[in-house]
Amino acid sequence: QFVRGPWSEERLAQARYDDNFAAFSAFAPVLGESFAEANYPLTKAALDRVLAPLGAAIGVAKARYDRERPFEVDSAVTTCVEATDRIRASGSYPSGHAAFGWAWALVLAELAPDRADAILARGRAYGDSRIVCGLHYPSDVEAGRTIAAAAIARLHAEPQFRAALEAARAEFPR
């Protein structure tokens, strides 16, 4: 089952913006204009530690399920971004964008607990944008979030990840 909207122009514009796969631009609307890699190098280092293990988990699941995307199954589903060959070649289940958006949100919520609600809402909206764009089913997005939560929980067992998080805390004044 997929969701077709109708979506407002504002929500479609947000979904197009969210097609950009970048933590800093994704969360700048919540954390402020100055939230950029150049200004948060320790946060970038912590977020970078998520890339390989979460990417590997998503890749295994996508290969295992090889689910067609909504726009491939139903010609009435239109995408709000170009359905590139790369997108077509990557299975729908689970959503990598939703996984990384949620993982980034979980890390950032730890670093800025005073803004956790807004950060988590933004991470959720980032994943939901994939549904709005017709690229994923809701279950793809939820599965991405579940894998992200598991990956972040597992990363907390690694001293290097905990040290990177602790270092990044200095960039978020209390």
What's the angle, vertex CA 155, arms to CA 149 and CA 161, rounded to 5?
130
CA distance 55 to 99: 9
CA distance 174 to 162: 19
Pull the structure tokens for residue 102.
């949620």
Is position 130 annotated as part of the catalytic site?
A: yes
Is position 136 annotated as part of the catalytic site?
A: yes
Residue 170's identity, in one-letter code, is A
Helices (H), 41-89: 41-65, 70-73, 85-89
- What residues have CB less than 8 Å from 110, skipping those under 6 apart? 165
Pull the structure tokens for residue 18.
């969210």
49, 67, 130, 145: which is the annotated catalytic residue?
A: 130
Is position 140 annotated as part of the catalytic site?
A: yes
49, 97, 122, 145: which is the annotated catalytic residue?
A: 97
Catalytic residue numbers, as ranges: 97, 130, 136, 140
